[in-house]
Each structure stands twice: as C-alpha cells, then as structure tokens.
C-alpha cells in the first residue's frame, strides 16, 4: 500500500518531491538533531490523489493521518482535544518549489470552546489562550470556510472600538473572549454552519483547504511567472504548535544566514516579541532587527547563531529560517534556500567559492540568469541623483532604481504597463493579491512592513526595486493621493526611488548603464573559463558594438545593414534607388549610398578590430523605406521632385499582402544584384582599409538572408564573389572572407545539406524561423500567444525561448546535415533567442559555435553558456 503520510523522523532533504520543500527540510533538521517541534507531512501525492478524486480525501489517507496524529500525541505527550492539556497544531502548505505566501496556513488548530478554556487554565494566561483562539477562528474561517478576511477585520475593529482600545496588545482576555463569540456568530451567519468544535474535523478540513489553495488564483499566477509546473501539487505539514505569543519571554522571527539584499556574511532578519509567525510576514507590525535579539535573549541568540551556521554548512547555501522562542526555548520552524537579489546571489556565490564551501562551477551554476538582468538594468545617473530632492525614506527592501507615475492599484499599474507607461505602485502594505501589480510596476513603495514583509520578499524575487515601511507617507485611497510632510501627490505624478538606499525622490531621474561589481566580474570570468560557446553581439552600429565589447562580446553575429539606411541623411538616397526606372538610375543612387555604408563598416571594424563581424545584406522589403503616411508622401514628393501620383503608384506597386513572406532577403539581391554589389563593395573596401590602417587581419563575414533554395544562395554568392574579388584586385589585397547564410526559412533547414555545399557558415535566424514554422506573425499574434500561454496551449512564448520540438528539430536537422557536408562549417544563432538562457543551453547541446544577442544580454549569455557546459558535462 502506498504511504501518504510521513513523520518528520521518516524523511530527509532528498524527499522534496514527495514532502515538499518545507516538509523535507523539517525532516532534515529533525534528522540532524536541531530543535524542531514534532509533526508529520501529508505528501504531494495525497494532494494529487485529492484532485483525481474530485476534491475528496480518500478514507485510507484520512486513516493514515489519524494514525500519525496518535504518534504525534505520544511524542509530545499531549492529546488532541484534551480538556486539560490539549495538543495544538499548525497546518501549513509546502510545495516542491517555494511559493512564499501563495498558499494557506492555519495555526492553533485543535482549539475549541473547551480546549481554549483548558489552555487558559493550564498556561494561566487567558489572554494568550483566547488570542490564539480568535486567530484560529479567523484563519480557519477564511481558509476553510471561505469567509472574507475583511469580515473578521470589521468585527475585530468594531469590538476594539466598543472596548475603547487603540492597540491590539492592549486587548484583555475578556475582550478576546467577546471577539471569539462574535467570530463564531459571524461564521454561522456567513456559512450557515457552526464553527466546528471537533479537532479531527478541523484537521481534515484544514488539510483539504490547503490542498485547494494549490489552485488559488495567486498561486497559479506565481507558478506561471516562475515556470513551476501546475501538476506538482503541495504537501501539507502538520506540526505541534509552539507559541511566540506566550508573553515577553516569547518571540517569533525570520532570519537569513547572510544578507539577501547585499550578500554580506552576517545574520540578517527580524523578530517580534509576543507574536505569532504570521505577524512578521504580513507586515502588520514593524519588527525589530535580528541583532536586537542578542540584547533581549542573549543565550537564545547564541544558540540561534550556532544553528544558522550548522544549517548553512549543511546545505552549503544561504538559508532563510523561521523560528519561534516559546518561554525562552528556541524552536526551528523552517529552513530553506534563501531567495536573494542578484547582487547578493553573486556575492554569496563568489564568497562561498572563496570559503571553499562550493566549487567555482557550483558558484556559476547557482547564478539565476533571469535574475542577473537586475544587474544590467540602468541605474540612476549619480550626479542627477545627488541633485534630486529626497522627499521620504523607508527600508531598502529590494535594490535598483525606478522612476514612474504614482499608482495605487493593481489594475491601474497593469493598465499603465499595457500603455507603455512606467509606474510606482504605492500601497499601505502588499498582499499576495498584489503580485500582478508588482510585476507591472517599475518599483513598489509600501507604508508598512519590514525587510521580510510580503512586498520585500516578492520584490526581491522578481527583481523589482522596493522600499518598505515608508511611514512618512499617508495614502488617501478615495482621493487617489498621497501626502508626504503636508505635500500632496496625485495618481500620475512622477516619483523616483532608489531601492538600494531606501530613498524616495521627487520627479524623474535620468538613468545610466550599470557598472559591474568585482564579484560579478569574477563570476563572468569563471564563466568564460568554463563555457565553450562563443558569445557575439547583435550590433548594427559602432556604438552598440563598443558597448557589446565592454560587456565581453567576442564578435558581432548580426550587423543589420538596413538600419544604416534609415538615418535621415540616407533615406533619400535609398528612396531614389527604389524609385529608379532603370538599372543605371539605380546604380547611380546606390553609388551615393556606398560612402555611407563604407564609413559605417570602417567604424565597426575600428571598434571590433580583428573580431569576427557578420554583416547581413539588405533584408527588408523595399516598401519599408517608402513614405507610409499621406503627409510623408507629400514631403518626399517635394524633396525628390517625383510627382506625388507617381510616388503613390510606386508605393502601391510595391505593397504586399504578407510582406513577411514577400520580396525581401536574398530575393532582393537576385532581382537587383546591384544592391548587393554596392554592399559587398562597402564591406570589402572597409575591411581592407582598416586592416591596413591598424595592421590587423580582418576576415569579413558576409551573410545572405532568407535563403530557402540552394540555387538562391549560389546565385547571390556569385554576385558576392565577383564583387569581392574585383575589390581585392583593385586594392591589390589578399584579404580572406567568408560567405554564409541565415537559416530562417523552414526549407533552408530541410535542405541544409545542399545549402552547405555553397555556404561557409549558418546563422540561425530564429525569429523568422519561429514565425514560419508556427505560421505565426509576431506582429499580429502577440495577444493570441498570451491567450495560448494562459490556456496552456503553449508552455511559453516561442519568441522568448526556442520551441525545441518544432523550431529546434529543424535546427538540429540543419546542424547535422550542414556538418556532414562541410565538417568545419561555422554555426551560430542571431535570433533574439541568442540571449535567452534556456535557448542558449539548447544551442550548446546541438553543437553551435556561438550565440549572438543584444549587447545588454551578453553577460547573461556568458553565464548561461557556462551553465549549459556544466549541465552538459554532468549529464554525460
């Protein structure tokens, strides 16, 4: 018979899949002798079984839970529902991947009218007993019975008012008994049922409710954002309660073994005296820094320091721990790998490698490339920031810089983002429901909550800058304004915020590209030692090329020559070329473009020197260069002297129903070889001149786009060779050069063996290859792709990450066939996928030589390439 429930002494950290992260780590801590309140875990398999059985819990599983409950009673020496010394438990979710705050938790389970009274007598603390009971009813009512939290809050606030009491801590036992009764009435009113008094019923219903919370809206969204599969299910941990709210000798807290924001090697966290865990995370009270504990509970603090050290060494990674002190005794409630900022992740990895805790490979493997993006985002210009007016200060909860318009709601933040507007989401405190708004905003600013509040934790994990606990701010939700020191700001006004410093500024502040930290440079250099893929940049101009070299590019994988034509001083010449009636006129117009192109290429080569630069011949359909609006047409007619009617005629002649599949790419070079001749001449003359000027060997790579037929390539190659050889002869140069092609048409991949007979390199143009393989126009189907991802028709946007099954299989065919015919063929990718870590891993696996991506993605690509190499080596 299958086992669905494990006591903490039956598991270990290797059983995450079955026990969830929390359950596995509770078992592990138990195993290595740390003080963990005893309990058991209902497995993820039970959760999946629950869903298979149409949200019913099998008799067998219920029986197993009851058996483990008896075992728990024996270990603790208390009885569930006992009238004298009742056993109370917490019921917490715990899935394979940490989803903090996304699912439900119930504390103090086992309390009812009788056991609450018994607890009060036993502890001689009626206030504690009924505080625990009211918390339990509220949590149970909300989680199990679906009564909105706001209903409970309303009752709570009104009773507090009636009692004339301002702070929760001032509520006495009789007030809390009154609230308990009011809550029970509320439950009856809202659900039509009595609040259940049977602890067994409470337990089973609570477990089922936690299973259900796996599929609540925010959990589903979180999984989507974090690429966590929906079918893993959650485990449920049932653990004997310990109480941080038993008075001034009790506390509860959260701490990290290192600083999750900066990576500094120091205990970092917060605690609240006389409180239960939820109080810390929820941000409703602002807790004290963990260091304060050394003063308040010196012995407990030393013990906690020791345990933190044990855990970090045991897990060989930064830990995020929850603990409770009950009457001076320390209990560990949770440990897990800590979420951290990119800065912290980098520093921690480098430090741990230096400490000998992990290898360099492991250090590189640990970097979350998606998160690294944070380090590559612009920061405020330092001078501008110094001049900016600081209007408020809060906790530096998540680093980074953001400028945007004030907004107060998730909806507004999402709407603004859709319109391309940047916003700062300002909230009293955030809750899991706010996730979508936090994703949409540039930064998050909360009035309440500490460094481990929901806002802070989530902002760090999604790389948003965040300032928490900024208490100078007063929000008026009705008026949609906020006031700071008497000054009122409205929704839509600009604010700026520096999440690393916790400073809020008036208005907007300009940003600059980031500089790399020494630690990050170390990770990059270790990555370079490990990776085998070369990294090139997609750069169309010398400025981008220079930036890419700074970021570590080893060449340019795609230089799109058409972008050079769109400049204001050049577009007239290309228009004259397009509107030429004869080949002679076209040649005349092209001869005007030659000096521009040549100068551009000279600059590129001066920047890139002898690094490879792949220059793609003109690709877009010619109509893209023509005026698009009536006004433009009039202007162009005036400039060129070509009659407006004739201009309109040319525009209409060149218009296409499906320009994506139209007269573009190599097709242009076949119909108008003189265009390719001009471009090849510009490339070759520039390469020869800069080679001589700098005394280096430049080997131009000329790339023919949109080839689908071997003979297309052969035709254009002939044009390229003829022109290139002519240039060499004219300059008396022996310069070497390569002629290759984009593989971006499905047929090119299917016939790559033939194309490789002629082509010296392949560069996968995965943007177009994806469009044509799926039959999806990226310009037209953005909304559809979102719909597909939401409905699960697509696991992810294939324009973000290579679709390995379809597009990827074409790439593999092309690599295999190409290499068979020409073993030394150069293979690369220049689609936007070249900067996507999962795509990079795929490129490594199928044996490409390089990936090419936008300059700002280069550091990510360097690390991703190293991780791919490590992973591949491991798998072999």
Catalytic entry in 830, 833, 843, 853? 830
**Residue 830: active-site member:** yes
Give least dist CB 839 to a second copy, A. Answer: 17
Torsions phi, psi for 292 (to 5 deg):
-60, -30
Q: Is 651 in the site for a second copy (CB under 8 A)?
A: no
Of 177 and 706, which CB lies nearer to a second copy in the complex structure? 706
Of 341 and 751, which CB lies nearer to a second copy in the complex structure? 751
Which of 170, 725, 780, 790 binds a second copy (CB under 8 A)? It is 780
Taking the C-alpha atoms of residue 417 and residue 437, their distance in angstroms, rounded to an integer, is 9
Can you tell me whether residue 423 is helix, strand or coil?
strand
Taking the C-alpha atoms of residue 160 and residue 166, their distance in angstroms, rounded to an integer, is 7
Q: Is 803 in the site for a second copy (CB under 8 A)?
A: yes
Q: Is 432 in the site for a second copy (CB under 8 A)?
A: no
Which of 286, 528, 788, 849 binds a second copy (CB under 8 A)? It is 788
Which of 294, 809, 821, 849 binds a second copy (CB under 8 A)? It is 809
Give least dist CB 611 to a second copy, A. Answer: 31
- Which token pair is 305? 């320091």
* Non-local CB neighbours of 652 within 8 Å, separated by 6+ positions: none
Give least dist CB 764 to a second copy, A. Answer: 14
Count, residues near a second copy per rule CB under 8 A: 48
Which of 231, 779, 875, 876 binds a second copy (CB under 8 A)? It is 779
CA distance to 634, 669, 803, per residue, from 135 (Å): 73, 75, 49
Taking the C-alpha atoms of residue 401 and residue 463, their distance in angstroms, rounded to an integer, is 11
Q: Is 660 in the site for a second copy (CB under 8 A)?
A: yes
- Which token pair is 466? 């965040």
Q: Which residue has the tokens 């060499």?
A: 728
Catalytic entry in 175, 454, 623, 833? 454
Over the window 730 to 769, marking each residue x when it contacts a second copy by CB under 8 A and - when it does not, the resulting string is --------------xxxx--xx--x-------------x-
Of 275 and 654, which CB lies nearer to a second copy in the complex structure? 654
Give least dist CB 652 to a second copy, A. Answer: 13
Burial class (CB in 10 A: 0-12, 13-18, 19+), 788: middle
The secondary structure of the chain in percent helix, strand, coil, rounded to multiples of 5, reads 50, 15, 30
Of 58 and 797, which CB lies nearer to a second copy in the complex structure? 797
Give least dist CB 550 to a second copy, A. Answer: 35
Which of 777, 797, 821, 845 binds a second copy (CB under 8 A)? It is 777
* Non-local CB neighbours of 678 within 8 Å, separated by 6+ positions: 590, 591, 593, 594, 597
Of 324 and 773, which CB lies nearer to a second copy in the complex structure? 773
Which of 282, 512, 651, 709 binds a second copy (CB under 8 A)? It is 709
Between the CA atoms of 135, 141, 146 and 152, what dihedral angle is there, to the nearest 10 degrees? Answer: -60
Relative to beta strand 268-273, strand 288-289 is antiparallel
Of 291 and 662, which CB lies nearer to a second copy in the complex structure? 662
Q: Is 583 in the site for a second copy (CB under 8 A)?
A: no
In angstroms, the first-to-last Cα distance of the chain is: 36
Q: Is 663 in the site for a second copy (CB under 8 A)?
A: yes
Give least dist CB 743 to a second copy, A. Answer: 11
Of 170 and 787, which CB lies nearer to a second copy in the complex structure? 787
Give least dist CB 814 to a second copy, A. Answer: 12
Q: Is 167 in the site for a second copy (CB under 8 A)?
A: no
Of 69 and 742, which CB lies nearer to a second copy in the complex structure? 742
Q: Is 619 in the site for a second copy (CB under 8 A)?
A: no
Which of 2, 264, 793, 873 binds a second copy (CB under 8 A)? It is 793
Give least dist CB 771 to a second copy, A. Answer: 6
* Non-local CB neighbours of 438 within 8 Å, separated by 6+ positions: 413, 425, 430, 444, 455, 458, 459, 462, 464
Which of 58, 603, 715, 796 binds a second copy (CB under 8 A)? It is 715
Taking the C-alpha atoms of residue 703 and residue 724, their distance in angstroms, rounded to an integer, is 13
Over the window 516 to 555, marking each residue x when it contacts a second copy by CB under 8 A and - when it does not, the resulting string is ----------------------------------------
- The 3-class secondary structure across 373-422, one letter per residue, is HHHHCCEECHHHHHHCCEEEECEEEECCEEEEEEECCHHHHHHHHHCCCC
User: Left, alpha or beta for 618 (phi > 0: left; psi -120 to 50: alpha)?
Assistant: beta
Of 602 and 654, which CB lies nearer to a second copy in the complex structure? 654
Q: Is 708 in the site for a second copy (CB under 8 A)?
A: yes
Torsions phi, psi for 652 (to 5 deg):
-75, -35
Q: Measuring CA to CA, which residue among 697, 807, 692 is closest to residue 744?
A: 807
Give least dist CB 460 to a second copy, A. Answer: 34
Give least dist CB 516 to a second copy, A. Answer: 39
Q: Is 771 in the site for a second copy (CB under 8 A)?
A: yes
Q: Is 656 in the site for a second copy (CB under 8 A)?
A: yes
Q: Is 721 in the site for a second copy (CB under 8 A)?
A: no
Of 42 and 720, which CB lies nearer to a second copy in the complex structure? 720
Q: Is 774 in the site for a second copy (CB under 8 A)?
A: yes
DSSP string for residues in 489-537: EETT-EEEEETTTTEEEES---EEPPPPPHHHHHHHHHHHHH--SEEEE
* Non-local CB neighbours of 284 within 8 Å, separated by 6+ positions: 429, 448
Q: What is the DSSP letter of 103?
A: S
Over the window 400 to 429, marking each residue x when it contacts a second copy by CB under 8 A and - when it does not, the resulting string is ------------------------------
Q: Is 174 in the site for a second copy (CB under 8 A)?
A: no
**Residue 563: active-site member:** no
Of 385 and 744, which CB lies nearer to a second copy in the complex structure? 744
Burial class (CB in 10 A: 0-12, 13-18, 19+), 166: exposed
> Which range, of 315-323, 477-485, 573-581, 661-669, touches a second copy by CB under 8 A?
661-669
CA distance to 81, 124, 130, 196, per residue, from 112 (Å): 8, 17, 10, 8
Can you tell me whether residue 760 is helix, strand or coil?
coil
Taking the C-alpha atoms of residue 453 and residue 430, their distance in angstroms, rounded to an integer, is 8
Which of 345, 553, 618, 810 binds a second copy (CB under 8 A)? It is 810
Bridge partners, residue 404, by sequence: 495
- Which token pair is 797? 């946007």
Give least dist CB 264 to a second copy, A. Answer: 46
Which of 781, 821, 849, 871 binds a second copy (CB under 8 A)? It is 781
Which of 69, 608, 776, 866 binds a second copy (CB under 8 A)? It is 776
Taking the C-alpha atoms of residue 75 and residue 115, their distance in angstroms, rounded to an integer, is 20
Which of 190, 484, 794, 821 binds a second copy (CB under 8 A)? It is 794
Q: Measuring CA to CA, which residue among 255, 304, 297, 250 is closest to residue 132?
A: 250
Of 776 and 866, which CB lies nearer to a second copy in the complex structure? 776
Of 344 and 773, which CB lies nearer to a second copy in the complex structure? 773
* Non-local CB neighbours of 370 within 8 Å, separated by 6+ positions: 837
Q: Is 790 in the site for a second copy (CB under 8 A)?
A: no
Q: Which residues form the catalytic set?
A: 454, 830
Name the site residues for a second copy (rule: CB under 8 A): 656-663, 667, 670-671, 706, 708-709, 711-712, 715, 744-747, 750-751, 754, 768, 771-777, 779-781, 784, 787-788, 791-794, 803, 805-807, 809-810
């Amino acid at each position: 018979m299958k086992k669905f429930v494990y006591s903490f002494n039956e598991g270990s950290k290797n059983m995450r899949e079955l026990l969830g992260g929390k359950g596995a780590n509770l078992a592990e801590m138990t195993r290595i002798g740390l003080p963990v309140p005893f309990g058991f875990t209902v497995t993820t398999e039970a959760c999946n079984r629950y869903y298979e059985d149409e949200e019913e819990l099998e008799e067998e599983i219920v029986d197993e839970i009851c058996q483990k409950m008896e075992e728990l009673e024996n270990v603790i020496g208390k009885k569930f529902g006992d009238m004298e010394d009742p056993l109370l438990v917490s019921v917490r979710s715990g899935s394979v991947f940490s989803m903090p705050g996304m699912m439900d938790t119930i504390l103090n389970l086992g309390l009812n009218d009788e056991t609450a009274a018994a607890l009060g007598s036993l502890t001689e603390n009626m206030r504690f007993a009924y505080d625990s009971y009211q918390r339990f009813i509220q949590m149970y009512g909300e989680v199990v019975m679906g009564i909105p939290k706001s209903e409970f809050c309303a009752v709570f606030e009104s009773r507090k008012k009636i009692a004339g009491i301002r702070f929760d801590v001032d509520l006495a036992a009789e007030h809390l008994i009154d609230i308990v009764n009011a809550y029970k009435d509320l439950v009856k009113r809202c659900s039509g049922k009595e609040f259940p008094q049977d602890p067994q019923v409470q337990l089973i219903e609570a477990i089922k409710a936690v299973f259900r919370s796996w599929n609540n809206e925010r959990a589903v969204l979180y999984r989507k954002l974090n690429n966590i599969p929906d079918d893993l299910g959650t485990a449920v941990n049932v653990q004997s309660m310990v109480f941080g709210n038993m008075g001034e000798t009790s506390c509860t807290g959260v701490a990290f073994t290192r600083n999750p924001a900066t990576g500094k090697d120091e205990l970092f966290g917060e605690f609240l005296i006389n409180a239960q865990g939820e109080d810390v995370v929820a941000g409703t009270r602002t807790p004290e820094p963990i260091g304060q504990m050394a003063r308040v509970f010196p012995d407990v603090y030393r013990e906690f320091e020791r345990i933190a050290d044990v855990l970090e060494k045991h897990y060989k990674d930064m830990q995020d721990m929850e603990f409770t002190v009950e009457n001076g005794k320390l209990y560990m409630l949770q440990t897990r790998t800590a979420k951290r900022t990119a800065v912290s992740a980098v520093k921690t990895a480098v430090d741990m490698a230096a400490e000998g805790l992990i290898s360099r490979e492991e250090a590189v493997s640990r970097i979350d490339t998606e998160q690294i993006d944070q380090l590559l985002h612009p920061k405020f210009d330092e001078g501008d920031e110094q001049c900016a007016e600081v209007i408020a200060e809060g906790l530096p909860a998540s680093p980074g810089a953001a400028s945007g318009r004030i907004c107060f709601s998730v909806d507004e933040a999402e709407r603004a983002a859709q319109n391309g507007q940047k916003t700062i989401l300002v909230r009293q405190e955030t809750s899991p429901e706010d996730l979508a708004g936090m994703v949409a905003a540039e930064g998050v600013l909360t009035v309440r909550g500490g460094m481990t509040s929901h806002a802070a934790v989530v902002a760090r994990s999604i790389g948003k800058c965040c300032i928490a606990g900024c208490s100078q701010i007063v929000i008026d939700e009705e008026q949609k304004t906020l006031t700071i020191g008497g000054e009122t700001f409205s929704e839509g006004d600009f604010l700026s915020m520096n999440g690393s410093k916790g400073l809020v500024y008036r208005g907007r502040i300009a940003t600059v590209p980031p500089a790399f930290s020494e630690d990050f440079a170390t990770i990059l250099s270790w990555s370079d030692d490990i990776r085998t893929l070369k990294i090139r940049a997609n750069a169309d101009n010398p400025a981008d090329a220079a930036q890419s070299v700074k970021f570590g590019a080893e060449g340019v994988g795609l230089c799109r020559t058409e972008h050079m034509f769109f400049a204001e001083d050049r577009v007239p010449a290309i228009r004259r070329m397009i509107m030429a009636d004869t080949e002679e006129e076209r040649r005349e117009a092209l001869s005007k473009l030659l000096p521009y192109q040549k100068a551009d290429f000279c600059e590129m080569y001066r920047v890139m020197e002898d690094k490879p630069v792949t220059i793609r011949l003109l690709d877009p359909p010619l109509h893209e260069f023509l005026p698009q609006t009536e006004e433009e047409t009039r202007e162009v007619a005036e400039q060129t002297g070509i009659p407006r009617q004739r201009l309109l005629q040319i525009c209409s002649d060149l218009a296409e129903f499906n320009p994506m599949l139209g007269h573009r790419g190599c097709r242009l070079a076949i119909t108008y070889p003189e265009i390719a001749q001009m471009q090849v001449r510009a490339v070759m003359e520039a390469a020869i001149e800069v080679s001589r000027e700098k005394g280096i060997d430049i080997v131009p790579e000329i790339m023919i786009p949109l080839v689908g037929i071997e003979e297309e390539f052969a035709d254009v190659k002939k044009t390229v060779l003829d022109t290139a050889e002519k240039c060499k002869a004219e300059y008396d140069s022996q310069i070497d050069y390569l002629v290759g092609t984009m593989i971006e048409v499905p047929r090119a991949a299917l016939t790559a063996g033939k194309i490789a007979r002629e082509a010296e390199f392949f560069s996968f143009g995965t943007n177009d290859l994806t469009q044509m393989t799926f039959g999806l126009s990226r310009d037209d189907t953005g909304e559809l792709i979102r719909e597909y991802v939401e409905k699960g028709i697509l696991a992810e946007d294939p324009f973000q990450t290579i679709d390995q099954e379809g597009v990827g299989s074409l790439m593999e065919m092309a690599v295999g066939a190409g290499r068979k015919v020409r073993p030394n063929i150069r293979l690369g990718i220049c689609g936007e996928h070249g900067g996507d870590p999962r795509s990079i891993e795929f490129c490594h696996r199928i044996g490409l030589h390089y990936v090419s991506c936008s300059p700002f993605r280069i550091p990510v690509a360097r690390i991703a390439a190293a991780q791919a190499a490590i992973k591949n080596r491991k798998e072999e």
